[in-house]
Amino acid sequence: MEYQLMWIEKKLAEKIRTGTLELHFDDGKRRIYGDGREPRATMQVHRRRVFRRIAMDPEFMLGQTYMDGDWSPGEGGLIRLLGVLLINNPPRYRSGLKKWLSLAWRPIQQWNRAHSARRNASSHYDLDDWLFQGFLDEDLNYSCAYFATPDMTLEQAQQAKLNHIRRKLLVRDGERVLDIGCGWGSMAINLAHNHDVEVVGLTLSEEQQELARERVRQAGLENRVDIRLQDYRDVTGRFNRVVSIGMFEHVGTPFYDQYFDRVYDLLTDDGVALIHTIGRFTPPGVTNPWIRRYIFPGGYIPATSEVMAAIERVGIRVTDIEVLRLHYAKTLSSWQQRFQAMRERVAANKSESFCRMWEFYLAVSEAAFRWRGMMVLQLQMARQQDAVPLTRDYLYSMQGAERPAEYPSEQYVQRQAS
């Protein structure tokens, strides 16, 4: 055990050069690494076996040992500790044989055929509704919010996100809209509130479908919003607009061409699509093994180059690309605060291990957006390059010659904020 402590001390002394990391042991002993300056973080070590376990597989075992109660964060919580660790361990981009071996496993890890996709979705989204209702905004948006102003509440920022996407879709009354990965129906309900449109929402989660349908019923929109338990590959018909928020991360690289080919085929000739997905600033990589096992089996965050290559092969035209940078970090921070407020209830109904899993997932995800090159991509696409205005004025101003005839109203957002 002392050898393991010596090994970890050597590694920490080599790595921690910016900021300060303190190890506090339950027997009162302490170790301090770094330059003694901010940022400062503390790891309270409950079991010394943690060093051996993390050394075996750092990417997986940091989260696993936290779930198992081997350590806890000190003041500032998980996000501060992860910040110090990640700042001092910048990502290394593999090359040669290591890169090839790493990428060779991806098709197997992301083999999201229809049956596998449904099973993977169920493992995460078919958890109890009250869990998601407890830490998400009131409208149940489980994706990156859009903080148009820094002082927005989570509710306001999520409505701003839906509004921003709705503007990009250029929806007009009388149209058909397909929502791929509709979640609990937030976008579908928003669209139907603001326009006289028919919306088909797709989910692979039975729990989501049930609650989404109930929300549609409560909104009085049953005749215009259809929430289906259906894979995007099985949809037939044509749609004027196609939207997908936070679903593309579950498609898998082997199916990118098929996905965009379906979007192309489902669009009318003058149709518009908007894909909102997490992306990475860095080259293609692999999913963290802890996230893949416990949170999103089959999931993968694409590099922009991977997405664009598939779009180019299919032939659909990209009419706008927007990158949202720290918006998701702010969103995840809000989710973590709300989860902590309900943590006692979650522990009583689930377990302490589940609580640790969930709070580590939220914290490491926030850390990835702050220090590991993650961002959000919004890709607007169309079959025809003149299907959308030639400038972005329509997104930010109610004026202008290129404003569509039925510009999205703001009444729903005002109702939600009041």
Cβ atoms of residues 137 and 118 within 8 Å: no
Instruction: Give the confidence band of 120 by pLDDT, cuts at 50, 70, 90.
Output: low
Rounded mean pLDDT, 117-141: 78
pLDDT in tens, 325-356: 999 999 999 999 999 999 999 999 999 999 99
Q: What is the pLDDT of residue 56?
A: 86
Instruction: Give the confidence band of 159 by pLDDT, cuts at 50, 70, 90.
Output: very high
Q: Who wins on pLDDT, 123 or 39?
A: 39
Rounded mean pLDDT, 115-135: 71
373 sits in the region (left: phi over 0; alpha: psi -120 to 50; else beta) called: left
Rounded mean pLDDT, 111-124: 55
Structure tokens at 87: 């700042």
Asked: is 109-417 a CATH 3.40.50.150 domain? The reply is yes
pTM: 0.88
CA angle, 291 then 293 then 294, to 5°? 70
Q: What is the pLDDT of residue 32?
A: 94
Strand ranges of the sheet holding 374-382, from the earlier edge strand across to the other edge: 225-229, 198-203, 176-180, 239-245, 267-280, 374-382, 317-324
Q: Is the pLDDT of residue 294 over 60?
A: yes
| Cα–Cα distance measured from residue 278 to residue 374, given in angstroms and rounded to the nearest whole number | 7
DSSP conformation class of 303: B
pLDDT in tens, 11-33: 888 889 999 999 999 999 999 99
Within this chain, domains 2-87 and 109-417 share the same CATH topology = no
| Cα–Cα distance measured from residue 179 to residue 67, given in angstroms and rounded to the nearest whole number | 35
| Cα–Cα distance measured from residue 322 to residue 380, given in angstroms and rounded to the nearest whole number | 9
Q: Around Cβ 149, how many Cβ atoms within 10 Å?
A: 8
pLDDT in tens, 367-416: 999 999 999 999 999 999 999 999 999 998 643 333 333 333 343 334 33
Q: Is 387 helix (H, G, I), strand (E, B) or coil?
A: coil
Per domain, the residue ranges of the chain are: 2-87, 109-417
Structure tokens at 24: 């506090």
| Cα–Cα distance measured from residue 144 to residue 161, given in angstroms and rounded to the nearest whole number | 8
Q: Is the pLDDT of residue 173 over 70?
A: yes
Biggest CA-to-CA distance, the chain: 73
**152-185 burial: b if 16+ Cβ within 10 Å, else e:** bebbbbbbbbbbbbbbbbbbbeebbbbbbbbbbb
Strand 30-34, strand 20-25: pairing:
antiparallel
Provide the mean pLDDT of the chain: 88
Instruction: Give the confidence band of 301 by pLDDT, cuts at 50, 70, 90.
Output: very high
Percent of residues, the chain, with pLDDT higher than 70:
85
CATH of the domain spanning 2-87, picked from 1.10.3470, 2.60.120, 3.40.1130, 3.30.1050: 3.30.1050
Q: What is the pLDDT of residue 265?
A: 97
| Runs of H (alpha helix) within 23-113 | 49-56, 58-67, 77-87, 96-104, 106-109
- The answer for residues whose C-beta is within 8 angstroms of residue 195's C-beta and 6 or more apart is 171, 172, 173, 175, 406, 408
Instruction: Give the confidence band of 55 by pLDDT, cuts at 50, 70, 90.
Output: confident
Strand 71-73, strand 176-180: pairing:
unpaired
Question: Number of helices (H) and strands (E), helices first, in the chain?
Answer: 19, 11
| Beta pairing partners, 198 | 176
